[in-house]
A = this chain, B = another copy of it.
Amino acid sequence: MKTTTEGAAEERLLRINEVAEELGLTTRTIRYYEELGLLRPAARSEGSYRLFDADDLERLRFIKGLRDDAGFSLNEIGQLLEDEVARARNRERFRETDSVEERRVILADAVKRIERQILTLRRKIERLETMVDEADERRAHLLAHAAELEGETIDPHDRSASARFRSEPARVSSRGAR
């Protein structure tokens, strides 16, 4: 949380390439996001160089997270960000009003938006968890078979196996047979 105090404007503004490296994006991507309206010019140098502040970085990280981790389209991300923009606008309105009632309304609206975001994310999580459960079931099934196999016949010729491992995770690496 940064409150951009006017007094100590210790805000180190970054140029696009620095931002790109910091976040693991390309400059093209960043410009593209701006072009789509996901990001505002932040500021420009005298010679029209883009300059980014901490807020922009956070915003970009947010976008990247939604894109990579959540698999949202840039369009959907735009929606989510619009919500956040509305939230920001509300903050201003919040400060500018003197009506407690209005403030309550604004806050309630903000909360509603955020809760919608959360719900969207939660739905996605739930579906993913269902998939995990299914996969887990298959795994359990396989392990059951494996256990069953442990109790089964032991090939008289095939003593090569020390055969004493339950469910071991590593060391299967040998891709040898071919």
Contacts and interface: CB of A to CB of B under 8 A. Distances in A.
Interface of A: 3-5, 40-44, 53, 55, 65-66, 68-72, 88, 91-92, 94-95, 98-101, 103-105, 107-112, 114-115, 117-118, 121-122, 124-125, 127-132, 135-136, 138-139, 142-143, 145-146, 149, 152-156, 158-163, 165, 167-175
Contact of A169 (B40, B88, B168): B88
Given A71-B70, A100-B152, A163-B101, A170 B124 contact: no
Most central of A40, A139, A153 by chain B CB within 10 Å: A139
A135 B118 contact: yes
Nearest to A137: B114
Contacts of A43: 173-175
Given A149-B107, A152-B100, A175-B41, A3 B136 contact: no
B118 A139 contact: yes
Contacts of A153: 100
Contact of A146 (B107, B121, B131, B169): B107
Contacts of A131: 65-66, 69-70, 121
Contacts of A109: 172
